[in-house]
Homo-oligomer: A and B are copies of this chain.
Amino acid sequence: MTNLLKTRSEHARLRLEVTQELEDIFARSRRTAEAYGPEFLGLWDLAADHAQGGKLIRPLLMLEMFEALGSNEPSASNRSEAVRIAAAIEVLHFAFLLHDDVIDGDLVRRGRPNLIGELATSSFDETHSDAAQHWAKSGAILAGDLLLSATHQLFARANVSGSLKERLLDLLEHTIFETTAGEFVDVGLSDGVIRSDLSTVLQMTGRKTACYSFELPLRAAVILSGGSQELERRLSTAGAHLGLAYQLQDDLLSTFGDAAAHGKDAYSDLREGKQTAIISFARMSNSWPSIEPDFADPQLSFERAEHLRDLLRECGAEDFVLGLIQEQLGAFYESLAVVNETASIPTRVRDVLLDLAARFEGRKS
């Protein structure tokens, strides 16, 4: 109980630090944005507002891990650098979300209008007119570009030694390739350009989300604490399994969970024809002929969507994906096992990861 309370107050402290850092980042550039007229300033303020709306899973994971690793570097300034990179990772996350929403045509995120939705409403009465949608989507493309640039600026200016800086830049480069490639394959699956088999879908899922959401913060924590590349690789593997489990759980929640809790459009995955492991399984089942006609129909009614969800459950897709999640969690636990004395994962580091995995159980959002 004491331990739990300690964890909670530590979490609150870290959250406050990240929130403050994000505010500072956006406030600094707000002064720059002011020079470019009210519309551009409005775009910047909208971006700042929405970027602060997340659960901060990624920066908190990074900072928890950074503290668990302790610092092997002489400089104490690495602590403030870690907070800045943690905030940069949240900025990157939001940049990806913006372009993802443009690509998916989504207007809702985290249970309220996303930046696109708000931008359309703020300047047009007819928010679904061509001009309103064009203005809003263009704004989201440009805001994403600004935030992608801001992420790079924060990484490039990190006040760390030359070799750590290079590892940070390598990590960012790798992350952006993985995520972009994953997103491109995701689009290809939806548009029917790439064949939707289970292995392609699982690989895409890992790349599109697990990499930047789990591997990136874990590896950044190792680098900033001056940890070895071997440790970085081991945490990367653990993070990949955990990340895939997390994203599979996300897919389950989107289709079988409570929309009010997860905050996305109810059944938007089914309307958009999102190629998930759920769908890959259903495709191989006998029920596919009764599922296919309604799947990927943008006009799908709530009632038909509920029926579709029931069919997906009955054909065994939900259980199948639950099994995949268990598989990934198994591989995750295995990756934490001791290999040899020098390459072992410190106990506190292992505890952070085990804690995180435990928090997955029963999550609703």
Chain A residues with CB under 8 Å of chain B are 29, 32-33, 36-37, 39-40, 43, 99, 102-103, 123-124, 131-132, 134-135, 138-139, 141-142, 144-146, 148-149, 152-153, 155-157, 166, 169, 172-174, 176-177, 180-181, 183-185, 187-188, 190-194, 207
Contact = CB atoms under 8 A, between A and B. Distances in A.
Contact of A173 (B102, B153, B185): B153
Contacts of A123: 193
A193 B135 contact: yes
A146 B176 contact: yes
Given A145-B99, A146-B177, A176-B149, A193 B36 contact: no
Contacts of A149: 148, 152, 172-173, 176
Contacts of A192: 131
Contacts of A131: 191-193
Contacts of A139: 184, 187
B176 A134 contact: no
Residue of A139, A149, A184 with highest tally of chain B CB at under 10 A: A184
A232 to B, nearest CB: 18
A134 to B, nearest CB: 6
Q: Specify how many copies of this chain sit in the oligomer.
A: 2
Given A134-B191, A135-B193, A169-B156, A142 B184 contact: yes
A139 B145 CA distance: 15
Contacts of A187: 134-135, 138-139, 142
A199 to B, nearest CB: 11
20 contacts: A32-B174, A36-B177, A36-B181, A40-B185, A43-B184, A99-B141, A103-B134, A123-B193, A131-B191, A131-B192, A134-B190, A135-B188, A138-B184, A142-B183, A142-B184, A145-B145, A145-B180, A148-B148, A149-B173, A152-B156
A174 B29 CA distance: 10
Given A39-B188, A145-B176, 5 more contacts: A36-B184, A36-B185, A37-B181, A142-B184, A152-B153
Contacts of A188: 39, 135
Nearest to A32: B177
Contacts of A180: 142, 145-146
A41 to B, nearest CB: 9
Contact of A169 (B33, B39, B157, B183): B157
Given A138-B103, A148-B149, A40 B184 contact: yes
Residue of A36, A103, A123, A166 with highest tally of chain B CB at under 10 A: A36
Across the A-B interface, the 9 shortest Cβ-Cβ residue pairs: A152-B152, A156-B156, A36-B181, A135-B191, A131-B191, A138-B187, A40-B181, A103-B138, A123-B193
A297 B350 CA distance: 62
A45 to B, nearest CB: 13
Contacts of A166: 157
B173 A39 contact: no
A286 to B, nearest CB: 27
A104 to B, nearest CB: 9
